[in-house]
């Protein structure tokens, strides 16, 4: 479902895949080569959601904001794992958000970082560039290696561009 709310309609870049049962409402801007998967919800009803290029929002993930306070900004080459919640925060470029993780209001995840599956970033957490955060509440567990960056962040983002092409045939 793609729905206009308060006169604001979602906008999409080129070569995107939107699953039939994804819900995208309000002030949502999606870049090129993005994919929004089954049962994902992007609610730009209370503030804006801005996504860069080559972003995938996987099955069951929720992207939302806080009314007039905390928008959600997502950079390029970002993967948001199954059932993750991304709420009123900023994800810079080349970020992997693991399955079932929660990123709360006013968090900033700098580029080339991984949020582990199941991690909970409490309000206002700052993730330095090149970090891996895990746990509840999430803490830095290590610096990211070049192998982890290319082997996970780039691999998953690129795979989702491939997967989405299967659904466009």
> Which residues are 66's β-sheet partners?
70
Note the pLDDT of residue 146.
85
Note the pLDDT of residue 97.
98
What is the chain's pLDDT, residue by residue, as a tens digit (169 residues)? 999 999 999 999 999 999 999 999 999 999 999 999 999 999 999 999 999 999 999 999 999 999 999 999 999 999 999 999 999 999 999 999 999 999 999 999 999 999 999 999 999 999 999 999 999 999 999 999 888 888 899 999 999 999 999 998 6
Helices (H), the chain: 146-148, 155-168
Tokens of 16: 């995107």
Note the pLDDT of residue 150.
82
Q: Which fold has domain 2-168?
A: UDP N-Acetylglucosamine Acyltransferase; domain 1 (2.160.10)
Q: How far is it, in rounded angstroms, from Cα 5 to Cα 28?
A: 10
Q: How far is it, in rounded angstroms, from Cα 53 to Cα 4?
A: 22
Query: Where in the chain are the domains?
Result: 2-168
Q: How far is it, in rounded angstroms, from Cα 91 to Cα 71?
A: 11
pTM over 0.85: yes
Tokens of 66: 């806080």
DSSP state of 153: I
Q: How far is it, in rounded angstroms, from Cα 108 to Cα 81?
A: 17
Note the pLDDT of residue 147.
84
């Amino acid at each position: 479902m793609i729905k206009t709310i308060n006169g604001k309609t979602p906008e999409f870049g080129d070569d995107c895949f939107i699953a039939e049962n994804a819900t995208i409402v309000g002030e949502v801007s999606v870049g090129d080569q993005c994919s929004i998967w089954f049962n994902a919800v992007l609610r730009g009803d209370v503030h804006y959601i801005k996504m860069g290029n080559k972003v995938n929002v996987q099955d069951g993930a929720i992207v939302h904001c806080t009314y007039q306070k905390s928008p959600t900004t997502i950079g390029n080459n970002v993967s948001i794992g199954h059932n993750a919640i991304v709420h009123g925060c900023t994800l810079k470029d080349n970020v992997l958000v693991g399955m079932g993780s929660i990123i709360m209001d006013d968090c900033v995840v700098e580029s080339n970082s991984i949020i582990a599956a199941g991690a909970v970033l409490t309000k206002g957490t700052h993730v330095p560039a090149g970090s891996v955060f895990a746990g509840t509440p999430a803490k830095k567990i290590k610096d990211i290696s070049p192998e982890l960056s290319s082997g996970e962040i780039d691999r998953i983002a690129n795979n989702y561009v491939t997967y989405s092409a299967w659904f466009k045939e």
